[in-house]
Amino acid sequence: MLAAMAAATPLTKLVPSMDDPNRNFIRDAWDRLHRIPGGKAIFSGLVGRAAPYTGTIGARVVELRRGFARVTLRDRRAVRNHLDCVHAIALANLAEITGNIAVAYTLPNDARFIVAGMSIEYLKKARGTITGTAETPLIDSSERREYEVPVTMRNDSGEEVARATLRTLIGPKTP
């Protein structure tokens, strides 16, 4: 299906350029891709390529809008620890991608961000698909400022397994 779609429409027409400093690549890519068949998977793969370490957990962005992101992590051997549950660092990685995607989508075109710190609490063993949810402040300026971005992670039963807070520094893009 994706191959047929890619053959019919070159991916370069679907995915915006990352090189345009006057655009928000994350927002443009999500807005173009999430409605087409396989688009969320393509978008999630792009995020993993842009941040290779983050891509190692295979997280899937399932919902994204201004001030909000929902990202899932499938429980599988590659993200498990010796206690047969999702590894603490995989959960930290899920928290970071969830918060970062929410922030990135929300940013004005002339802003950029970096995580300046993170705290995380592990509340119970994480098993099954874990869903990270972030609600960010609405960021309307590229003025240099730090924001706290809370992220919750829940299992399939809706139980909170971990919670994190990202300290995110926003600032203007530099030419």
pLDDT of residue 52: 87
pLDDT of residue 17: 56
**Cα gap 28→11, rounded to integer Å:** 14
- What pLDDT tens digit does each residue of the chain (175 aa) get? 444 444 445 555 566 555 666 778 899 999 999 999 999 999 999 998 888 888 889 999 999 999 999 999 998 898 888 988 899 999 999 999 999 999 999 999 999 999 999 999 999 999 999 999 999 999 999 999 999 999 999 999 999 999 999 999 999 998 7
- Cross-strand partners of 60: 72
pLDDT of residue 51: 86
How crowded is residue 139: how many other Cβ atoms within 10 Å of its Cβ?
A: 19
CATH pick for 2-172 out of 3.10.129.10, 3.30.160.270, 3.30.830.10, 2.30.110.10: 3.10.129.10
pLDDT of residue 21: 64
pLDDT of residue 3: 44
Q: How would you list the strands of the sheet with 130-135, edge to edge?
A: 60-65, 68-73, 130-135, 145-154, 160-172, 111-122
Question: What residue ranges do the domains of the chain occupy?
Answer: 2-172
